[in-house]
């Protein structure tokens, strides 16, 4: 509520913007999955000469799977944050009405009868705000973990290129394309994750 009054972007808006960024990564994950499937098919056609590369397709699949799960988990947290923000706003509004009524009834005989309701509402608001902060902390932690895991994608792409060099020159292009695709798509995902992290940092 204070964020809105002071002109700052509310945290629940930041959470929604983070979710929007990460939604874009899901398409990238499908691209990596497809790339791994293509590499597996090509490895099967070539046979024993591509065994080293075939083993790498498992890690490419893992990268896509982990990224997709992380994006979905963070999006779920963003949805939870949005719902909780609505509850928190309602509780804050109720509390402001209680305080207004208390001020207007300052000289009334039963003025103190509102104290218990005000205390309970204040307690609820405090709990909701703490829960909301915990969700935001989890989102930021998962973003940091995802960024860390994506650092291995560059190394994975490099190893793929090394393995491609060991394959017959007529088939090398297929596997070099796989390595380039992993590198490119991982870079796109990292960019999205960096944007998501910067949304929290700029708040």
Asked if residue 8 has pLDDT above 60, the reply is no
**Tokens of residue 156, six digits:** 């994975």
What residue segments make up the domains of the chain, in order of their start?
2-201
Q: Return the residue matching tokens 């098919």.
A: 41
Asked if residue 5 has pLDDT above 70, the reply is no
Q: What is the pLDDT of residue 42?
A: 78
Helix (H, G, I), strand (E, B) or coil at 5: helix
Per residue in 47-69, pLDDT tens?
A: 777 777 777 888 888 888 888 88
Range in 66-75, 82-91, 92-101, 107-116 with the lowest mean pLDDT: 107-116
Of 5 and 88, which is predicted with more confidence?
88
Please tell me the distance from the alpha carbon of residue 182 to that of residue 154, in angstroms, as a whole number: 8
Helix (H, G, I), strand (E, B) or coil at 107: coil
Q: Mean of the per-residue pLDDT values for the chain?
A: 81
Average pLDDT of the residues in 1-15 = 56
Q: What is the pLDDT of residue 68?
A: 83
Per residue in 99-157, pLDDT tens?
A: 888 888 878 777 788 888 899 999 999 999 899 889 888 888 888 888 888 888 888 88
Output the CA–CA distances (angstroms, integers) from residue 62 to 4, 55, 57, 58, 145, in the order listed: 41, 12, 9, 6, 15
Q: What is the pLDDT of residue 171?
A: 74
Of 11 and 167, which is predicted with more confidence?
167
Nearest to 173 by CA among 181, 163, 164: 164
Average pLDDT of the residues in 25-41 = 79
Asked if residue 4 has pLDDT above 50, the reply is no
Please tell me the distance from the alpha carbon of residue 35 to that of residue 59, in angstroms, as a whole number: 12
Phi, psi at 15, each rounded to 5°: -60, -40
């Amino acid at each position: 509520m204070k964020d809105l009054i002071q002109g700052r972007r509310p945290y629940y808006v930041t959470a929604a913007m983070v979710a929007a960024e990460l939604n874009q990564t899901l398409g990238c994950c499908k691209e990596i999955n497809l790339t791994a499937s293509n590499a597996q098919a090509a490895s099967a056609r070539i046979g024993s000469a591509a065994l080293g590369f075939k083993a790498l397709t498992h890690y490419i699949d893992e990268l896509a799977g982990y990224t997709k799960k992380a994006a979905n988990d963070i999006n779920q947290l963003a949805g939870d944050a949005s719902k909780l923000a609505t509850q928190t706003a309602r509780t804050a509004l109720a509390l402001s009405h209680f305080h207004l009524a208390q001020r207007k009834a300052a000289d009334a005989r039963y003025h103190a009868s509102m104290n218990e309701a005000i205390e309970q509402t204040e307690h609820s608001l405090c709990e909701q705000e703490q829960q909301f902060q915990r969700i935001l902390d989890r989102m930021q932690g998962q973003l940091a973990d995802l960024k860390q895991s994506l650092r291995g994608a560059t190394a994975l792409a490099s190893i793929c290129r090394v393995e491609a060099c060991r394959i017959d020159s007529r088939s090398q292009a297929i596997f070099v394309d796989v390595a380039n695709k992993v590198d490119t798509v991982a870079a796109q995902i990292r960019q999205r994750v960096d944007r998501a992290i910067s949304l929290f940092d700029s708040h």
